[in-house]
Amino acid sequence: MTTYKDAGVDVAAGDAAIDRIRATVQDTYTPGVLADIGAFGACFAPDLEGMEAPVLVSSIDGVGTKLKVAARMGRYDTVGRDLVNHCVNDIAVCGARPLFFLDYYGVGTLDPDTAEAVVQGFATACSANGCALVGGEMAEMPDVYGEDDFDLVGSIVGVVDKAALLQGEAVRPGDVLLGLPATGLHTNGYTLARTVLFEAYDVDDRPPALEGASVGEALLRVHRSYLPAIQALLHDDLAQGLAHITGGGLPGNLARILPAGCAAAVDYEAWTRPPLFSLIQEQGAVPEADMRRTFNLGVGLVAVVRPEAVEAATSCLAGAGVPDAVRIGRVVSDASSDASEAPD
Amino acid sequence: MTTYKDAGVDVAAGDAAIDRIRATVQDTYTPGVLADIGAFGACFAPDLEGMEAPVLVSSIDGVGTKLKVAARMGRYDTVGRDLVNHCVNDIAVCGARPLFFLDYYGVGTLDPDTAEAVVQGFATACSANGCALVGGEMAEMPDVYGEDDFDLVGSIVGVVDKAALLQGEAVRPGDVLLGLPATGLHTNGYTLARTVLFEAYDVDDRPPALEGASVGEALLRVHRSYLPAIQALLHDDLAQGLAHITGGGLPGNLARILPAGCAAAVDYEAWTRPPLFSLIQEQGAVPEADMRRTFNLGVGLVAVVRPEAVEAATSCLAGAGVPDAVRIGRVVSDASSDASEAPD
C-alpha cells in the first residue's frame, strides 16, 4: 500500500494527482492519525477512553456500476462520496463510529484530473463523517480495465464498546419501522436501472417524471450518510435495531437484523416512492417483487423503534437533520407475516 | 459489504461459491471474531491485554497484473495468498500483528469454481498468518471487467502498542542490511515481466535458465509472508528497521525507513540473483537501473541490524525458518552514498 502521506506512489500519474489533493486528504486527519510514522502501513491510535471492551467494526465495498453513470456524465467527484457514505452506514448501523477509511482505485489508464476528482470525493465525505482517509492504492492495469474503465473499493474501520454493539436482538413484535429517506438509488440496482433507462434516454434527457432533473443527475445523486441520524438515535437509546437498505432492498436487509420469531411487515403504500423508481418500473415493466428486492425504493435506512418511542425518535431525527422519517411498517411474529407482505 | 458468515451474498453465483468455502473461511476465525453479530459490518474484539496505547496499522492493496498470469495458467488458488501475504508484510514491518483481513473480488462474470479457488487462497493464507478473514464483497460488473477479467483487493488491520511501533528512527550509519530471500517477483513488476517473457515464451515453456520450472510456475510463485521472521526478530529486539521490498525495489523501499542523514549502500553482488530476474533482464535488455527500481531482485524483506547483532539476527532468522538471510549492504551517512550505489 501507498499511504497518501508518502512522498511517492507507484504510479507516476497518481503521484501528480496525489500531490494536487494532498492537502485535502490531510484535512481528513483526526487526532488518531499518526501521520509521521508507519511508512508501509497507516497508523491510527483510536481513542478508547471509557470503553470496556472495544470492538472493531469493519466493512469493504465497491460502488458497483454507478461508476458507469459517472463516466457517462464525465463527473467523478461524487462516486468517492458514495463509497465512503455506504461504508460509514454499514458500520454505523452496528453502533460503531468510523475511525478510518482506505481506498483502492484500479484503472486502465490513470488520468490525473479524474483521479483528483475521485480522491477529492473520498476526502470530502471522510471529513464530513469525521473519518480519516489514511491510505490508498492506485493501480494502473491496462490489461484488466478498459481505457476509461475503473473500479473503486473502500474499506472502513470503526469502533464501538461491546456493550453498545447494536445487533437487533431486542427487536420484538409490535416494534415500529421508521424509514429514513434515500437520496436516490444510493449504490444499488444500477445494472437494472441503466439497462432500462439508457435504452430510452440519454444521461442529459429530462423526462417530465423526474421533475426537472436529468436522468444522469437523478442516477448520480450521492448515497446519503445516516451517521448523524444514527448517532442521535443511539445517543438517546431510541433504536432497537438499524438496517442499511442496500442490495436486497427492504426485505433482504430487514431480515438481517430481525431475531428469530420476528418478521417485517412493510406497508409499501406508506410513503411516496420517488419518481426515479416509478420511471424505472414503468419504462422497464419491472415486476413489483423485483423492484422491492433490487432497490431501496426511497428508504435508505430503517430504524426499529418501540411503539411508545416513535414520537421521541421522530423528533430526535428531525433534530439530526432528518425531518421526514416515515412509519413504513412494523415488526410482527414470524408466523403471521413475512418481510415481503404488507401488514393487515 | 457482505460478510462471509451471512446467509447470502448479492450475487447468486457468489453465493454458491461461498457456500462451498464457508467452512474454510470459518477456519480462519481467531478468538477475536464475533461471528454471531454484526450483520452489516464485521465485528472483531482485539486482544489489547498489556497494551498501553494500541495503534491500529492498516493497509489496502491489490495483486496487480500477476492476476493475468494466473488467468493464463488457469490457476486461481495462489493469487489470494499473494495478496494476504503482501498485506501482512506491509503492517508487520511496522511492528503490528495482523488481526483481520477483508477482500474485494470484482469480476466480469463470476465463475463459482474460480471464486472458490480465489477465496480458498485468501483463507489459507489468513489461517497461516493467524489473521481472521472477516468479510468480503463479490461484485459482478460485466460492463467494467471483461468476461474473464477480475481484480482483487485486500485490506488488513493489525495492532501494535505505540511504544513498539517500528519506524526506523533508531537506524544509524554503520547498521547492516540483512536481506531475506524472496520466492520470486512477489507482486511487483508483472507488467514489465509479462511484456518481456510472453514475447518469447508461453506459460508452459521451460527455458533452461529456470532450472526446470515453467515460465508460468516461476512467475506465479507465492509472495512470501515474513511474519514469523519479523516476529522473531522483534521479539528479540534485533531489528532497528524493516522494509518490505515491493514496487520501487530496494532503493525505493529502503528510503522509506531511513532517517534523515542516512542512506542505504546496497552491494548488488552480495547475493545470487534468482534466474527469473536474469532471464527477464537478458530477454528484454532491461537496463540495470530499471531492474533495481522495478523488482525485488530476490530480496523480499530487509532487516536493518546493528553490526554487533548480525550474528544473533542471522541465527534468530534461521530459527524462524529463514536460514538464508544475506548481508546485502549497510547504512551510510547521506553525504557519502545514495541508495542506488554499491558500497566501497
Q: For position B142, which CATH number holds?
A: 3.30.1330.10
Which of A109, A139, A164 terminates a domain? The answer is A164
Cβ contact A67:A211 at 8 Å: no
Cβ contact A63:A220 at 8 Å: no
Query: Does residue A251 fall inside a structural domain?
Result: yes
**Domain identity same for A247 and A210:** yes
Distance from CA of A315 to the nearest CA of B (A): 26
Interface residue B229 vs chain A (CB under 8 A): no
- Compare CB distances from B62 to A137, A248, A256 and report the shortest one's residue: A137
**Domain identity same for B264 and B224:** yes
For the cut 70, the answer to whether the pLDDT of residue B6 exceeds it is no
Query: Does residue A171 fall inside a structural domain?
Result: no
Query: Does residue B275 fall inside a structural domain?
Result: yes
pTM: 0.93
- Compare CB distances from B90 to A40, A57, A150 and report the shortest one's residue: A40
**Domain identity same for B45 and B124:** yes
pLDDT digits (tens, 9 = 90+) for B241-257: 999 999 999 999 999 99
What's the complex ipTM? 0.93
Cβ–Cβ below 8 Å for A58 and B247: no
Tell the burial category of A88 from Cβ atoms under 10 Å away from its Cβ (0-12, 13-18, 19+): buried
Q: Which residue of A has its CA nearest to B8?
A: A252
**Domain identity same for A42 and A106:** yes
d(CA A81, CA B274): 45
**Domain identity same for A67 and A189:** no
Interface residue A168 vs chain B (CB under 8 A): yes
- Compare CB distances from A58 to B42, B143, B145 and report the shortest one's residue: B42
**Domain identity same for B150 and B190:** no
Which of A164, A187, A209 terminates a domain? The answer is A164
Structure confidence at residue B15 as a pLDDT band (50, 70, 90): low
Distance from CA of A36 to the nearest CA of B (A): 9
> What mean pLDDT comes out for the span A305-311?
98
> What mean pLDDT comes out for the span A96-101?
98
The CA-atom distances, in angstroms, between B278 and each of A302, B115, B338 are: 60, 34, 24
Interface residue B60 vs chain A (CB under 8 A): yes
pLDDT digits (tens, 9 = 90+) for A180-191: 999 999 999 999
Interface residue A74 vs chain B (CB under 8 A): no
Query: Does residue B63 fall inside a structural domain?
Result: yes
Query: Does residue B97 fall inside a structural domain?
Result: yes
Q: Locate cell 492476476: which residue?
A: B67
Domain assignment of residue A286, given as a range: 176-336
pLDDT digits (tens, 9 = 90+) for A198-251: 999 999 999 999 999 999 999 999 999 999 999 999 999 999 999 999 999 999
Query: Does residue A301 fall inside a structural domain?
Result: yes
The pLDDT > 90 percentage for chain A reads 82
Distance from CA of B249 to the nearest CA of A (A): 11
**Domain identity same for A144 and A195:** no
Query: Does residue B1 fall inside a structural domain?
Result: no
Which of B164, B187, B212 terminates a domain? The answer is B164
Residue ranges of the alpha helices (H) in A74-111?
79-92
Interface residue A259 vs chain B (CB under 8 A): no
Cβ contact B63:B121 at 8 Å: no
pLDDT digits (tens, 9 = 90+) for B48-93: 999 999 999 999 999 999 999 999 999 999 999 999 999 999 999 9
For the cut 90, the answer to whether the pLDDT of residue A61 exceeds it is yes
Per the structure, the count of domains in chain B is 2
List the CATH number of the domain containing A258: 3.90.650.10
Distance from CA of A325 to the nearest CA of B (A): 21
Structure confidence at residue A288 as a pLDDT band (50, 70, 90): very high
Distance of CA B131 to the CA centre of its chain: 14
